[in-house]
Structure 1
Amino acid sequence: MNLSIEKVASEVGCGKTTIYRRWPTKPQLVAAAIIDNIEVGEVPNTGDVVEDLVEHAWQNRENFRRSKNRSGNNGLLLAMFNMDVIPIISDSFMQARHTMGREIIARGVEREQVSGELDHDLIIDTLAGLTLFRITLKPEATGRTDDEIKDTYRSLVRSLIGRQS
């Protein structure tokens, strides 16, 4: 992790002991910065599981977009994938987002829009994976309009749940 507590302390105008008193480790400091700059969001409920999952995925995209606008790149949000940071933010963010996705799919099962036999965790993870991949490893795919990007998500969700339209 390319972070200096001394540099952070200097930037905010305090001693490094002050930082260590509140965040005893670099991963805890990074996790706090990430959590402070992202939103878990609300569970979408449009009445259609495809649109709900698209909106759920879009919330993740917006978190990356806000992170990039604040820092000039995705460094802060990508730091969440540091092996020392993951366990710290898992309970407060990742698990909450995953639970929201499972709620959306459970509603879809109740409405008979999704089969209860599908691997619901795989659907949620695939949507999150697409977001991460497109933003970090294939950024040229993000040059399209928001509507075009949402259509990509719709296509993926329909494929994952076996629904034509």
Structure 2
Amino acid sequence: MTSQAAQAAQAADGPETVAAARRSKITPAREREFFDAVLEQIRACGYDSVTMEGVAASTRCSKSTLYRQWKTKPQFVAAALRASREVRFAGIDTGSLAEDLRRAALAAGDWSGKDTRLLQALGHAVTQDPELQQALRETLVDPEIAALQEMIRRGVERGEVRADHPALEYVPAMMFGVLRVRPVLCGRYADSDYLLRFVEAAVLPALGLT
């Protein structure tokens, strides 16, 4: 194919097709390595201290590879967050709202340190970048809130708590709030034992459950 024909074919494909072809050079395993590296560096050093150059060095790739793929650090981190999405409260269904919330406390304790560090490290950055904020919500916040709301819905249907109980809307805030605030108050993350005691002492009584 002549150079002119090649250019014409490229133009016919359009910029999106060409960009997709470039992206396809990175294997899923390699992409996962990049994502893991940037999130771990954010946890360890803070968002502002992490650079595309630093991630490139730690993963032994050229920084041009990262910039070609994701253009900016916020876009890179947003993609890493979305790729790491995992709903920790999904699948909890014991047939009892009180027991579901206890199980949620235990599950939250298993990942609270890792995710709380990430939330803290991204705290200021997410207020500056809408895409980063949206990715954080889609990954660490909205799925867990939806799972909690599903537990509550089942509890209401079983008659365990009134649908108009004033404390229902605050359950997600209570669960997420204690995860964020304990490191500030005590210098320690909220582990499973602490969260379980919190649910027993604060959340269940607020809902009228035992």
Query: TM bucket by the smaller chain?
Result: 0.7 to 0.9
One of 197, 202, 206 as aligned partner of 1:151: 197
CA distance in 2, matches of 1:6, 1:148: 39
Structure of higher CA gyration radius: 2
Question: How many positions carry a matched residue from both structures?
Answer: 156
The answer on whether the counterparts of 1:49 and 1:105 sit within 8 Å (CA) in structure 2 is: yes
Structure 1: stretches of 5+ with no match in the other structure: 69-73
Structure 2: stretches of 5+ with no match in the other structure: 1-46
After TM superposition, give the deviation of residue 12 of structure 1 in Å.
0.8
TM-score, scaled to structure 1: 0.77
Three-state SS of the structure 2 residue aligned to 1:115 is coil
1:79 match? 121
Q: 5 Å matches for 1:127-142? A: 127-134=175-182, 136-140=183-187, 142=189
1:28 match? 75
2:61 match? 14
The answer on whether the counterparts of 2:81 and 2:135 sit within 8 Å (CA) in structure 1 is: no
Q: 5 Å matches for 1:1-165? A: 1-2=47-48, 3-36=50-83, 39-41=86-88, 42-65=90-113, 67=114, 75-81=117-123, 82-83=126-127, 84=129, 85-119=132-166, 120-134=168-182, 136-140=183-187, 142=189, 146-147=192-193, 149-163=195-209, 165=210
CA distance in 2, matches of 1:52, 1:8: 39
2:35 match? none
1:71 match? none
After TM superposition, give the deviation of residue 151 of structure 1 in Å.
2.2
Report the residue type matching 1:76 in the other structure: L
Once structures 1 and 2 are overlaid, which stretch shifts more, 18-27 or 124-133?
18-27
Report the residue type matching 1:61 in the other structure: G
2:8 match? none
2:36 match? none
RMSD of equivalent CA atoms: 2.7
CA distance in 2, matches of 1:37, 1:92: 7
